[in-house]
Amino acid sequence: MNVSTPTITADYARDGYVFPLDILSPAEAAELRADLEAAEDAVRADKQHLRLLRGYPARLLPSFARLVRHPKMIAAASAVLGPDLILWGSGLFIKEANTPSFVSWHQDLTYWGLDQADEVTLWVALSPATVESGCMRFIPGSHGRNIVPHADSFADNNLLTRGQEIAVEVDESDAIDVVLQPGQASIHHGHLFHASGPNGSADRRIGAAIRYIVPAMKSTAGPETEVSLISGEDRHGNFRLMPPPATRLDPADFAAVAADAERRDAVLYAGAKAARR
């Protein structure tokens, strides 16, 4: 589907998501994946750097900095949030081929420490997201609920920080499979019930979760939280605005995102009985 503002605005309001959105061509997606995988190889020996690369690709790789500023990404996010957009986070959800990694049913905004719900995620597929490879599953209309109780599981193989899981009934018979080809994206609301299963395919399942917010939002991690202004204006000054990376895998950028990750982890793990690093 081409990125069309009226369709996104209406479908998103009704369902809490829209997909598939054509963002990158298959060749552009393959190029981005190759750049990411070369970067993974370059830092693999350092576990902390690998974790930061997967948590902050748009702060460490110019290719991902361009993705989050792509006109079609901005058009899709703006169809929901309006013209002023801040990148609150970019993170990679990677399930290796034939592995049991999964994501339990959850609502994104549960532990992020943000004071409002004016946030969207654009999840961009860099490899086929299919039922076999463990694509996301959405419950249509569930974004209409406020945050419901969640319980921490810290389950092995759960890709979420706390293994958090919705603690009320989720009727999985309503779930929609979010099947995407490389270069396509889905957009979803921070209150939407969603999950994903293991990867039974022979390829890695790679998705970039790009999170946009409006500048009026505030974080309980405080104004030191590092974000980037992507489009329009920030008239609020609630965050520290960071430029895109000037070079690839710069040590100074690694140091900056390491400090930011410490601040954010303090919020993400607040009240948890354990922490996963």
Ligand X SMILES: O=C(O)CCC(=O)C(=O)O
Residues at the contact surface with ligand X, assessed by CB under 6 A: 93, 103, 108, 121, 123, 136, 194, 196, 207, 209
Closest-CA residue to 23 (of 159, 187, 167, 164): 187
Q: What angle do CA 59, 62, 68 make, to 5 degrees?
A: 70
Shortest reach from residue 255's CB to ligand X, in Å: 26
Instruction: Closer to ligand X by CB, 179 or 256: give it.
Output: 179
Shortest reach from residue 135's CB to ligand X, in Å: 7
Instruction: Closer to ligand X by CB, 52 or 103: give it.
Output: 103
Residue partners of 133: CB distance under 8 A and separation at least 6: 95, 127, 199, 200, 201, 203, 205
Shortest reach from residue 121's CB to ligand X, in Å: 5
Shortest reach from residue 250's CB to ligand X, in Å: 26
Instruction: Closer to ligand X by CB, 109 or 256: give it.
Output: 109
Shortest reach from residue 275's CB to ligand X, in Å: 19
Instruction: Closer to ligand X by CB, 190 or 215: give it.
Output: 190
Check: CB of residue 44 under 8 Å from CB of residue 232.
Answer: no
Shortest reach from residue 207's CB to ligand X, in Å: 5
Shortest reach from residue 80's CB to ligand X, in Å: 15
* Sign of the dihedral defined by the CA atoms of residues 22, 36, 189, 66, in that order: negative
Instruction: Closer to ligand X by CB, 138 or 239: give it.
Output: 138
20 preceded by cis ω (within 30°)? yes
Instruction: Closer to ligand X by CB, 207 or 215: give it.
Output: 207
Residue partners of 187: CB distance under 8 A and separation at least 6: 8, 12, 17, 18, 19, 21, 76, 77, 80, 120, 121, 122, 123
What is the spatial distance between Cα 42 and Cα 46, in angstroms, rounded to a whole number?
9
Burial per residue of 54-68, b for 16 or more beta-carbon CB atoms within 10 angstroms, e otherwise = bbbbbbbbebbbebb
The region, left, alpha or beta by phi > 0 then psi within -120 to 50, assigned to residue 271 is left
Instruction: Closer to ligand X by CB, 12 or 93: give it.
Output: 93
Phi, psi of 189 (to 5 degrees): -80, 150
